């Protein structure tokens, strides 16, 4: 086991897959000589050269289209969004081409590409750099979506995403790149469609993903001292949702809170609750609760920014309230 930062875990995954498969290459803004805005591609340019670590112009729609074309012809591109918010400028290529071409070609094409990069609410980065885009992309048919939350799952998920024959979006949180964890020295991959049972419990199910996993675990440390026994699930896969793992938990706890950084309206929690209501409503002894960010552009002001996002104390209070329901 070796302790690494999350950005290093992602870099290791990219390096290992590029060394193993010459069809894998990276493209994006500042991924080459600069090493990526968060150093995920540091030193890869020197190792693999200009054609496999490709610096692009500031033209997101164009280089995303180039990546789709490369995937169709047998390559495996990894597109880094300097900030995932910028990929809204490539939304047409992601939805109309990456998501659809396998279907509209009658299966003649596969689109083995990965779209990854930093997102989420940072620290005073302003509205355009603090967007939560999970729900935007979740609505697109043909995509797989995962969100990493630890160095361990970041590396395993990225390796699996690179090997997958479908377009995969990997969301990395801008505030987790310097998170440290021991990960195995041997090679490993993780499934792209499975949630992780982080903590077993009997009273209430807390479902979360990305940075909110850590806020939930902070809240759990307090709740346990008060005698509560929460179960914690990290969704990891945002599309498809692993509703089976959630239902297995609800069979024990019969209560659920979904904690997310996505917007409340039309967010990931809304989809989770909809699927629970469709398939497992009879397992609930209390209404499903969602704790989400406010439906506003993220303020630059630090105090206002903090007020838009869920923090551990809100989770603690919601657990107390729902168990007493």
Residues with a known catalytic role = 60, 129
Name every residue whose Cβ is closer than 8 Å to that of residue 17 and which is 6 or more positions away in sequence. Answer: 24, 158, 159, 162, 163
What tokens were used for 111? 């689109």
How many helices (H) and strands (E) would you count in the chain? 12, 14
Token pair for 140: 């697109």
Q: Please tell me what DSSP assigns to residue 241.
A: B
Rounded CA-CA distance 228/226 in Å is: 6
- The residues, any chain, with a CB within 8 Å of residue 153's CB and separated by 6 or more, are 190, 196, 234, 236
Q: How far, in Å, CA of 287 to CA of 301, rounded?
A: 34
Distance CA 27, CA 195 (A): 29
Rounded to an integer, what distance in angstroms lies between the CA atom of residue 306 and that of residue 239?
Answer: 28
Distance CA 229, CA 227 (A): 7
Give the integer Cα–Cα distance in Å for 170 and 210: 11
């Amino acid at each position: 086991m070796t302790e690494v930062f999350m950005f290093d875990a992602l870099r290791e995954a990219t390096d290992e897959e590029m060394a193993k498969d010459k069809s894998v290459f990276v493209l994006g803004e500042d991924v080459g000589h600069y090493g990526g805005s968060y150093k995920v591609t540091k030193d890869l340019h020197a190792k693999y050269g200009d054609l496999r670590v490709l610096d692009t112009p500031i033209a997101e729609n164009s280089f995303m289209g180039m990546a789709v074309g490369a995937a169709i012809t047998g390559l495996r591109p990894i597109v880094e969004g300097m900030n995932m918010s910028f990929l809204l400028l490539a939304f047409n290529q992601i939805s109309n081409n990456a998501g659809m071409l396998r279907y509209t070609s009658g299966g003649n094409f596969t689109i083995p590409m990965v779209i990854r990069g930093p997102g989420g609410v940072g620290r005073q980065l302003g509205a355009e750099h603090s967007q939560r885009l999970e729900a935007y992309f979740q609505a697109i048919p043909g995509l797989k979506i995962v969100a990493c939350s630890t160095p361990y799952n970041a590396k395993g998920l990225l390796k699996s995403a690179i090997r997958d024959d479908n377009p995969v979006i990997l969301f990395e949180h801008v505030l987790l790149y310097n998170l440290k964890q021991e990960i195995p020295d041997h090679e490993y991959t993780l499934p792209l469609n499975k949630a992780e049972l982080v903590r077993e419990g009997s009273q209430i199910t807390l479902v979360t993903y990305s940075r909110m996993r850590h806020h939930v675990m902070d809240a759990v440390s307090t709740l346990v001292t008060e005698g509560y026994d929460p179960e914690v699930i990290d969704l990891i896969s945002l599309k498809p949702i692993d509703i089976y793992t959630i239902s297995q938990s609800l069979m024990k706890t019969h209560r659920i809170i979904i904690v997310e950084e996505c917007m409340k309206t039309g967010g990931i929690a809304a989809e989770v609750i909809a699927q629970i209501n469709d398939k497992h409503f009879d397992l609930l002894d209390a209404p499903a609760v969602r704790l989400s960010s406010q439906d506003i552009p993220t303020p630059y002001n630090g105090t206002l920014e903090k007020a838009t996002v869920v923090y551990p104390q809100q989770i603690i209070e919601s657990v107390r309230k729902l168990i007493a329901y």
